[in-house]
Amino acid sequence: LFANVTADNVETTDPADLSRLRKLRNIGISAHIDSGKTTLTERVLYYTGRIKAIHEVRGKDGEGAKMDSMELERERGITIQSAATYCNWNWEGHGDYNINIIDTPGHVDFTIEVERALRVLDGAILVLCGVSGVQSQTITVDRQMRRYNVPRISFINKLDRVGANPFSIIEQIRQKLKITAAAIQIPIGLEDNLKGVVDLIKWKAYYNEGNRGDKVIEKEIPEELIKLASEKRQELIENLADVDDQIADIFLSEGTPTSQQLMDAVRRSTVANKFSPVLMGSAFKNTGVQKALDAVCAFLPNPSEVHNTALDLNQKEAKVDLLPYSKNPFVGLAFKLEDGKYGQLTYIRVYQGALKRGSFVTNSKTLKKVKVPRLVRMHSNEMEDVEEVGAGEICALFGVDCSSGDTFTDGVLNYSLTSMFVPDSVISLS
């Protein structure tokens, strides 16, 4: 049967594996219905080059928005339905990052499906409507993420709409979601005049220009916004001082943190899930989306920063740590099954070790050993065959018979990642 090789689970020192992990993000995008989750996802796929067309801007408030063509409709359908989409983002000055966007079902009830999606996320973007703010489903999805200790950045969307009020929405985030939050951006203009965002950390203005906001132009902060930006930067520092010792020390000695110190503190406190940085924009008007992608890379944790555990079935289901390094024995979770035209597609999160095409994996529930005939990465409307994926990655398998929620291992470890879902812990809003 299974040998006990837990002792072989070691921290890696392989620099290539570590730098791969540092540039990997597994994220979800969550929102109250109608806040713009679909639109934001679509923009993200557009700016990362995954889809070639987006909703054209027509009329106000999304009214009259039409698809470019049938092709777009088809693309959009596939895009949004895919359980996980792999894309790349070049974070300015930091190189290419790989981002897996995992579809998080927006169920109001805490179902096994929601649970599994949350389990494979390392971070999330919480999208809020810039007019309606925190709504019932925002509270629900936020609670669900909190339960899984998923750090989140907040994106206040629809700032082009009449009545948009981002700062009152930050207040709602603090009051209703009970998390320390502060703006790391302020909008340049509002409603019809929305043009871009001021980055309070870098202390620069970023304008979206060109067709579909493709170009992000860095400029100095406009004169008329300096006062507000200074106040909001101070508010950011004060909020960070509550959750970060280094900023607290600087704040108490009446010093001013540098951009780098602020950047590091936002990252530390977001990864530790003590703080939510708030971003601004309008997905529909193509404002602030690229900066949101930068923030995903800058502030959300990589897989090596997230604590994941499994049950060791050899040791009376003792909880064991999973170490997301490619050299360790393979452990992965089948978190979603999809029936496609090529047969059953099984989405896997690799928690540790690497998964190779042609290798054998063992289902820890059925104890069946199966060969991995085909391994793919999903790129919204295309899939890419790959030979191997490393620890922390999300991929999909063809030709493997299993159920959603099953754990696969290298056949040596006898770990189970099977759901810790308990029926009486259903969260719903009453």
Residue 324, classed as helix, strand or coil, is coil
Q: Give the residue with the Cβ less far from ligand GDP, 35 or 239.
A: 35
Q: Give the residue with the Cβ less far from ligand GDP, 289 or 354.
A: 289
Q: Find the binder of ligand GDP among 160, 244, 393, 410 (CB under 6 A).
A: 160
Q: Which of 164, 105, 103, 127 is nearest to 32 (CA)?
A: 127
Q: Per-residue x/- mask for ligand GDP, residues 54 to 83, rule CB under 6 A?
A: -------xx--x------------------
244 in a known ligand binding site: no
Distance CA 306, CA 309 (A): 10
182 in a known ligand binding site: no
**Which tokens in the block code for residue 164?**
């948009």
To ligand GDP, the closest distance from the beta carbon of 182 in angstroms equals: 22
Residues 353-379: b if buried by 16+ CB within 10 A, e if exposed: bbbebeeebbbbeeeeebebebbbbbb
To ligand GDP, the closest distance from the beta carbon of 107 in angstroms equals: 14
Distance CA 331, CA 352 (A): 5
Q: Which residues, in sequence order, are bridge partners of residue 128?
A: 156
Told to check if 133 binds ligand GDP by CB under 6 A, we report no
To ligand GDP, the closest distance from the beta carbon of 127 in angstroms equals: 6
Told to check if 43 binds ligand GDP by CB under 6 A, we report no
Q: Give the residue with the Cβ less far from ligand GDP, 192 or 209.
A: 192
| Contact between residue 48 and residue 343 where contact means Cβ atoms under 8 Å apart | no
Q: Find the binder of ligand GDP among 9, 26, 30, 38 (CB under 6 A).
A: 38
DSSP run (H or E) holding 231: helix 226-243
Burial class of 237 by CB neighbour count within 10 A (0 to 12, 13 to 18, 19+)? buried
| Contact between residue 31 and residue 127 where contact means Cβ atoms under 8 Å apart | yes
159 in a known ligand binding site: yes
To ligand GDP, the closest distance from the beta carbon of 430 in angstroms equals: 23
Could you say which residues in the range 12-31 bind ligand GDP, by CB under 6 A? 31
Told to check if 195 binds ligand GDP by CB under 6 A, we report no
| Contact between residue 127 and residue 141 where contact means Cβ atoms under 8 Å apart | no
Told to check if 363 binds ligand GDP by CB under 6 A, we report no
Residues that bind ligand GDP (rule: CB under 6 A) add up to a total of 19
38 in a known ligand binding site: yes
**DSSP assigned state of 212:** G
Told to check if 112 binds ligand GDP by CB under 6 A, we report no
Q: Find the binder of ligand GDP among 44, 126, 247, 283 (CB under 6 A).
A: 283
Q: Give the residue with the Cβ less far from ligand GDP, 152 or 268.
A: 152
To ligand GDP, the closest distance from the beta carbon of 76 in angstroms equals: 10
**Which tokens in the block code for residue 95?**
């190189």
DSSP states of 123-173 = EEEEEEETTTBS-HHHHHHHHHHHHTT--EEEEEE-TTSTT--HHHHHHHH
To ligand GDP, the closest distance from the beta carbon of 125 in angstroms equals: 12
Q: Give the residue with the Cβ less far from ligand GDP, 56 or 209.
A: 56
Q: Give the residue with the Cβ less far from ligand GDP, 61 or 384.
A: 61
Distance CA 19, CA 22 (A): 5
Told to check if 35 binds ligand GDP by CB under 6 A, we report yes
| Contact between residue 228 and residue 167 where contact means Cβ atoms under 8 Å apart | no
32 in a known ligand binding site: yes
37 in a known ligand binding site: yes
Told to check if 162 binds ligand GDP by CB under 6 A, we report no
Hey, which bits of 267-373 come out as E strands?
276-280, 308-312, 318-322, 331-340, 343-352, 355-356, 360-363, 369-371
Which residues would be at the binding site for ligand GDP (CB under 6 A)? Answer: 31, 33-39, 61-62, 65, 157-158, 160-161, 282-285
| Residue ranges of the binding site for GTP | 31-38, 103-107, 157-160
